[in-house]
Amino acid sequence: MSGKRLVGPSAWIFGAAGAFIGVVAAWLVSQGNPGNMGLCIACFLRDTVGFFGGAKANMGAVAYVRPEIIGLVLGAAAASFATKEFRPRGGSSTLLRFVLGFIFMTSALIFLGCTVRAWLRLGGGDLNALWGVLGIVVGVSIGALFLKGGYNLGRAKHLPAPAAWLGVALAVALLALALASASGTAPNGFTVTKAKAFATGTTPPAVFLKGAGGKPAAVLKPEGAALAPDGSIVGADGAVVASAEAVAKAKPQPGGKRAPLAIALVAGLVLGVVAQRSRFCSIGGIRDVVLVRRFDLLFGVIGLLVGAFVANVALGQFSMGFENQPVAHTDALGNFAAMAVAGLAAVMLGGCPFRQVIMSGEGDVDAFAAVLGMMAGAFVAHWQGIASSPKGLSPLGWPALGVMAAVLVAIALIKRERTA
């Protein structure tokens, strides 16, 4: 019998870091972030892209520069700089990493959440996430088999010093735009989903703000429309745009649910430091169990799940079931397949999207390319109608998953090292 330890002392560090991330994520929901979405790399990068894409890219409801993303990068940069781990590196199949990031994001938006949010959704009682978690396990396991078969993107090289600052520069630019937007001085041409905006299920949807007591306060769209005494929304011509029933059943727009900027930014900074120092990764634990039978990293996702569950129960946010879960759909097979593709893409990248964001703050240009790929994937997924909605997968969801799975297999074959 082998004397190799399956769990080392670092397991408790990963577990504590995961629990802390889960607690903070659940707390951010109590501060205004969407349900079971206190932290979601895919969703928050998507929302940030929506600030630039706007309604023309079908992103008008998800347009807001998420301060958490900015904080993660800057927190990771500060922690790595303080510990002398901030260094310029990259050149390891950088273009392919962009493609892998693109695929990860597109498949995540079909599930409606990244590999971090899958665990957070489960910790909030969303049982649809069970299928997503199972998909992650299958996708990561397939990726581990690719690694055993020789898949390798190559070794990173030392790069000129300015390259290390790409991720930080982007974060600082986004921070400037976020602050300008919050103060009302952002340049024209950008889109921001109004805080506390709701949209009816009518076609096209009517958008309105809710005021005190949860009652409709002002109509944003269509222009010239107004609230009628009976609770309906009527257009400038007097025709009913949305019935009183549709107004009562209106759903909040994801981009309109957010924690205050300062709170979100500070939370992101703290999480960035914790993630950088702990090397937390939402898929690394499963990969290590399959590859080398080591369980240390797995304690991170266990801690994430437990921390989110305990905090959600304490905050009165826990709601178990399949139906009426926030920003989620009930297509079990779709949830499974989307996260299987996302999990496979994450393993082929060498880390989950959370880890890629953190490494981009450490000076890793390859991780920065993966983040740019995720942002491009978010734009295309919404622009082309590939992203899912709470109603389920779009007509393009399944074809997209099939194409992306084929591309991942092709990349695995192309980058397979052949021994003599």
Residue 172 lies in a domain: yes
- Residues in the chain predicted with pLDDT less than 70, given as ranges, are 1-5, 418-420
Res 388: pLDDT: 97
Shared domain check, 399 and 277: yes
Q: Is residue 89 part of a domain?
A: yes
Q: Which of 213, 234, 252 is the last residue of a domain?
A: 252
Please tell me the predicted confidence (pLDDT) of residue 37: 97
How high is the pLDDT of residue 69?
Answer: 98
**Whole-model pTM?**
0.94
Distance CA 230, CA 328 (A): 31
Q: What is the pLDDT of residue 1?
A: 39
Q: How many degrees, rounded to 5, is the angle at CA 352 between CA 334 and CA 144?
A: 80
User: Are the CB atoms for 78 and 172 separated by under 8 Å?
Assistant: no
**375 lies in a domain?**
yes
For the purposes of burial, counting CB atoms within 10 Å of the CB of 188, is it exposed (0-12), middle (13-18) or buried (19 or more)?
exposed
168 within a domain of the structure (yes/no): yes
pLDDT at residue 213 in the model = 75
Does residue 286 share a domain with residue 146? yes
Task: Centre a 10 Å sphere on the Cβ of residue 263 and count the other Cβ atoms it contains.
Answer: 17
Report the number of distinct structural domains present in the chain.
2
Task: Find the domain containing 262 and state its range.
Answer: 10-192+258-414
Identify whether residues 182 and 305 lie together within a single domain. yes
On whether both 178 and 35 belong to a single domain, the answer is yes
Is residue 303 included in any domain, yes or no?
yes
Same domain, 368 and 399: yes
Cβ atoms < 10 Å from Cβ of 310: 16
Q: What is the pLDDT of residue 382?
A: 98
Place of tokens 């019998």: 1
**What b-and-e string marks burial along 230-245, b requiring 16 or more CB atoms within 10 Å of the CB?**
eebbbbeeeebbbbbe
Largest Cα–Cα distance in the chain?
81
Same domain (yes/no): 103, 222: no
Burial of 258 (C-beta count, 10 Å sphere; 0-12/13-18/19+): buried
Return the DSSP state at 92: S
pLDDT tens-place string over residues 342-367: 999 999 999 999 999 999 999 999 99
Both 159 and 235 in one domain: the answer is: no
Residues 157, 127 share a domain: yes
Sheet strands side by side (includes 240-242): 226-227, 233-234, 240-242
61 and 97, same domain (yes or no):
yes
Same domain, 89 and 178: yes
